[in-house]
Amino acid sequence: MTVDLNGKPIAIAGASSGIGRATAIACARAGMPVAIGARRTEKLHAVASEIESVGGRAVAIELDVTSDASSTAFIERAEGELGPLHAVFANAGFGFERPVHETTDADMREIFEANFFGTLAVLNPAVARFIERRSGHVLICSSSIGKVGIPGYGAYCATKAAQSHVGRAMRHELKPLGIDVSTVYPIGTRTEFFDEARRRSGGGSLVENTPKAFMQPPERVARAIVACLRRPRTEVWTSWTSRIMLGALSTFPRLGDIALDRIARRQAEINRRAGDA
């Protein structure tokens, strides 16, 4: 069954740039009123203006996903301005490059607060409303590397794996209540994510380690999300090659070790050259 998205509101967390911004614009083009949330309100208003300039409807709402009060207020205002939500997309988060043994407890807790607990903070108030109405669509932005622990990105991968498992469990918990749950697994996406990761890491080599074939623009992810909103499914992937390779690495751990050892050696060489520069 295909869902007619025209007039059906969606709330998107982390919508000031990257995948969230692209998804907000794509949803608006599909006829969905959009509530966009993030901490950088000036960027949010720019996104809202862009949507409204092409005839869409958008409301920009300041949002800090590490605050339950802010997240609840985001959903409440979204429904107050746009009407009952059809969907919610938990997309806010960040990453950094650092070995797990060099990651402080404070840094590990910070990334889980934003990426994992921030996801739940946004979803829970929306899901409560979906349960009352026996309808709705939950989307969670995990990552393809949530399926495998990349050296240097263990903390980030752990948060994405947690999102993945929670998304799959929620799909079956909420399905009898008329609610769809979909988890999104982007490959490397050309967004501000990498700039922020470098800033937090004092450098970084993930971009240099990622083949061009596994990099994509955020608009590609946005189109896949809109397609999923029209025809809900369990997982959203934009690269069959990546999906098959990650499945193989999980099935054959020794093969995975060989690939990850190569990544670790390349990271060490890139970081050594950066240190010598």
CB atoms within 10 A of CB 173: 13
Residue 274 inside a domain? The answer is no
CA distances from 277 to 39, 201, 271 (A): 35, 17, 10
pTM equals: 0.88
Residue 84 inside a domain? The answer is yes
Task: List CB contacts of 203: < 8 A, sequence separation 6 or more.
Answer: 97, 271, 274
Structure tokens at 232: 């809900």
Looking at residue 105, which CATH number applies to its domain?
Answer: 3.40.50.720
Predicted pLDDT at 250: 79
Residue 3 inside a domain? The answer is no
Highest mean pLDDT among 101-115, 199-213, 235-249: 101-115
Residue 268 inside a domain? The answer is no
The domain in which residue 106 lies consists of: 10-239
Domain count across the chain: 1
How would residue 148 be classed by pLDDT, with cut points 50, 70 and 90?
A: confident
How many whole angstroms separate alpha carbon 96 and alpha carbon 159? 12
Residue 40, classed as helix, strand or coil, is coil
pLDDT > 70: what percent of the chain? 87
How many whole angstroms separate alpha carbon 249 and alpha carbon 41? 41
Arithmetic mean of pLDDT, 132-139 = 98
How many whole angstroms separate alpha carbon 177 and alpha carbon 45? 35
Residue 116 inside a domain? The answer is yes
CA dihedral 128, 131, 132, 134 (to 10 degrees): 150
Residue 266 inside a domain? The answer is no
Residue 256 inside a domain? The answer is no
Predicted pLDDT at 84: 98
Arithmetic mean of pLDDT, 118-145 = 97
pLDDT digits (tens, 9 = 90+) for 152-211: 899 999 999 999 999 999 999 999 999 999 999 998 655 555 555 555 555 555 555 565
Residue 233 inside a domain? The answer is yes
Structure tokens at 133: 């109405």
